[in-house]
Amino acid sequence: MKRIISVTLSLVLLLSLGLARAELTSSDETQSLQKAYYDADYAYLNDEDSVFSSVTLEEAYTIFQQEGNYLFLLGGSWCGNTTPVIGYINEVAKEYGVQTIYNLDFRLDGVNRSSHIRETAGAQSQGAVLSGSLYNYLYGEIVTRWLTNLNDYVEYKVDTESALTYTDAAGQSVTVPKVQVPFVFLYNKDHMNDAGEAAPIVAGLELMKVRSDFAAEDGAVNEEAVAEYKATLRASVFDAVRGVTLTPFTDADYIRIIYNEKAGQEIFAPDAQINLETVTYRQLQWLLGQEGDYLILFAGSWCPNTQAIISIVNDFAVANHVTVYTFDTKLDSGYARKYWGYEKDLHIRDSANEFASLYVDLVLDYLPNIETEYTIENGNFISYVNADGETVAANKLQVPYFLAYTKGLEDENGHFVPVTAAIEKMLTLNPDREDYVGTPENHQAYVDGAAKVLAAYASRAGIEAVTPEY
């Protein structure tokens, strides 16, 4: 078996995607990952304090089920229609006093078309057709469950050839309207239209523009075209915002809700401070390419072992006034299989998954010195076969995996050692098990391990590590 490590791929990828334009300084506690990321990711945004906040699928699912009013943008930086207008959307949002627009990208790795869940090809077999979307039922479920009046706002309506058809968990063929991106909309799950029918999309705009639409003959910006687009945004979406109060919803709100719900008990109290921030795959990849020192937790709300220790990790983050970035290797957070009855998860930390390369490449490119219980040497690893027919493998971390990270760090032999400390320890919330986190021994063992991670981070970040009092 050949283990292939590319030390230049990550840099090449970041530069080719335009992600090297802004940097995140980890020593600045007020610096927002979201704002720095968006300023770097979108060439035409040009705002270090934009309103956009990226959400994972699970975060979107969670918001869709909350009471209140929320603004969403569907789209991604890969999209030639979203990129030229995101700056104008941001400007109009600020005119109306909007502080947050939640951004959901249907390309779950933020780049590759194969990870796009809004494609019809492959609908006839769950995860079986490589030529199209393997997981289009994730898009279908969003429309079927929450965006039930999407048909009123899109060109590709349910009765057109361009609508999206997927196979649901019961094996039935379901057709839903197919949204084009960017799609900006105001959402309220309890909203009713004038006919007394459920209409959770209160207002929305699907309008395809390209960069040349805003160019004057002399190459300058066509201000008239920009003004027309902004006027359409105001009339179609933002004027509806004037009559409502937008509901604030943070990563802390999401983490509190989802972990308490999945664990079936209170993990985070209503007034608990939460210093955990969720990142998408693309955001994590970008973060790992930034200069500085970071704390990262591979975690999942679906995971009983993560449920057992996430409050301890948060205690350390709060005590040390730092942020821990959390990433779920199940890009659908396990909903499709565990909660909706589908056959599989979109789990990149699984060699059987079509997207295992996302995990393997992430580890090889950014975490080459990761130490895990499951390794290539002992035969328990994650692998995929590349385009040249070669097997590419990486050590398999278990969730939760809490680590301190410093980009580009080398040891005395010139080897990259960006992971400066980590803890991989599986505990549970079940008091009848030996690995119950509530026993003094188990709890202290995890605290000691987390303290080592914080100490490694603190020594490089120039702060004094603090261990919470229990």
| pLDDT tens figures, 149-181 | 999 999 999 999 999 998 899 999 999 999 999
- Domains, in order of start, for the chain: 22-243 (3.40.30.10), 251-461 (3.40.30.10)
In the sheet that holds 70-74, the strands lie side by side as 52-54, 101-104, 70-74, 183-187, 201-206
Q: Is residue 124 pLDDT above 50, yes or no?
A: no
Q: Is residue 2 pLDDT above 90, yes or no?
A: no
Q: What is the pLDDT of residue 32?
A: 67
The rounded percent of the chain whose pLDDT value lies above 90 is 82
pTM for the whole thing? Answer: 0.90
Which residue has tokens 């704002």? 35
Contact 329, 359 (CB under 8 A): yes
pLDDT band at 111 (very low <50, low <70, confident <90, very high): confident
| pLDDT tens figures, 75-102 | 999 999 999 999 999 999 999 999 999 9
Q: Which two tokens stand for residue 295?
A: 């704390």
**Residue spans of beta strands (DSSP E) within 350-418:** 381-385, 391-395, 401-406
Q: Which two tokens stand for residue 185?
A: 């909309």
Q: Is residue 114 pLDDT above 90, yes or no?
A: no
pLDDT top residue among 35 and 97 = 97
- Nearest-Å Rg of the Cα atoms of the chain is 23
First-to-last C-alpha distance (Å) of the chain: 47
Contact 462, 27 (CB under 8 A): yes
The rounded percent of the chain whose pLDDT value lies above 70 is 90
pLDDT band at 126 (very low <50, low <70, confident <90, very high): very low
| pLDDT tens figures, 405-444 | 999 899 899 999 999 999 999 999 999 999 999 999 999 9
Q: What is the pLDDT of residue 251?
A: 93
Q: What is the pLDDT of residue 34?
A: 82
Nearest to 40 by CA among 73, 70, 15, 7: 15
Q: What is the pLDDT of residue 33?
A: 79
Q: Is residue 188 pLDDT above 60, yes or no?
A: yes
Which whole number is the average pLDDT over 225-232? 98
Q: What is the pLDDT of residue 344?
A: 87
Q: Which two tokens stand for residue 116?
A: 């796009």
Task: Report the residue count for the chain.
Answer: 470
